[in-house]
Structures are given as structure tokens and as C-alpha cells.
Amino acid sequence: MAHRILIVEDQADIRKLIRMTLEFGDFEIHEAHDGESGLAMARAIRPTVMLLDVMMPGLLDGYQVCTRIKQDPELKAIQVVMLTARGQATDLAAGEAAGADAYLVKPFSPLELIERVEAMVSTVA
């Protein structure tokens, strides 16, 4: 069974790059363009891994989405990887406080992305 990956990113070109990177793996890939739709989709499809942009337009940023997922008993098993252009210690601390499982700082290499995702899905039966 393919693991579900949910990409939540407001920039279509970055979503496309991530999708193209992960298409070679045995993944079922879903996409959302903002925090609200990402959270709704996470509830609907229960992804194994969620790649979550930090800064997005709308009501919820990535940290808020991550916090809600990790506080929800039905969703907290989702592995959340925060994607951000900001890699300062304060950003990493905010991601940690929100419950993020990992952090990738843009621009990240496709190889780094796929290694991170494959490591995460290998820990899930």
C-alpha cells in the first residue's frame, strides 16, 4: 500500500517540484494550497507524512496547522515536516513548539527531501 503524502504549500511551482521529486517513490501524493485546506485534507485522507509550508496566506500558517494536527488524537500520528525559507533558531524553536517532526529549510535538495520522507514512512507499518 502506498503511503499518502500531503503537500501544503501556497506556491504552485514548489508544490510541483516536490510532487516531481516524490513521484518516483511509492507514494500517493495530495496537494493543498493553504493552511485551512491542508488541515481539512489531513482530516480527510490521513496522510503518513505532511510537508507543510510555514508562511502561507489565509487564516492558518504552518505552525498553527501543525499544532492543530498534533493536538488532535486522530491526527497526531501524522509525521509533519515544516518547509521554510527561514532557518533561524527561533523558527526551529517555533516548529518544535508546534510539534513538528522535522524541518527542511528552502531551498532544500530533492535528494534530502526524498531521504527524509522515506525515513519517515519506513518507521510506519
What is the predicted pLDDT for the residue at 15? 95
Residue 65: per-residue pLDDT? 97
Identify residue 2 by its one-letter amino acid code.
Answer: A
- Does residue 97 have a pLDDT over 80? yes
Residue 41's pLDDT is 98
Query: What span, in angstroms and rounded, lies between the C-alpha atoms of 16 and 14?
Result: 5
| Higher-scoring residue by pLDDT: 26, 37 | 37
Q: Is the pLDDT of residue 9 over 80?
A: yes
User: d(Cα 33, Cα 41) in Å, to the nearest integer?
Assistant: 11
What is the rounded distance in angstroms from the CA atom of residue 11 to the CA atom of residue 121?
A: 25
Sign of CA dihedral 92, 97, 102, 103: negative
Question: Average pLDDT for residues 80-93, to the nearest whole number?
Answer: 86
Q: What is the per-residue DSSP string for 10-31?
A: S-HHHHHHHHHHHTTSSEEEEE
pLDDT at 46: 97
Domain spans in the chain, listed from the N-terminal domain onward: 3-107
> Is residue 123 pLDDT above 90, yes or no?
no
pLDDT of residue 25: 86
46 C-beta neighbours (distance < 10 Å), count: 13
pLDDT at 125: 60
pLDDT, one tens digit per residue, over 31-81 is: 999 999 999 999 999 999 999 999 999 999 999 999 999 999 999 999 999
> How much is the pLDDT for 87?
74
Which fold, 3-107?
Rossmann fold (3.40.50)
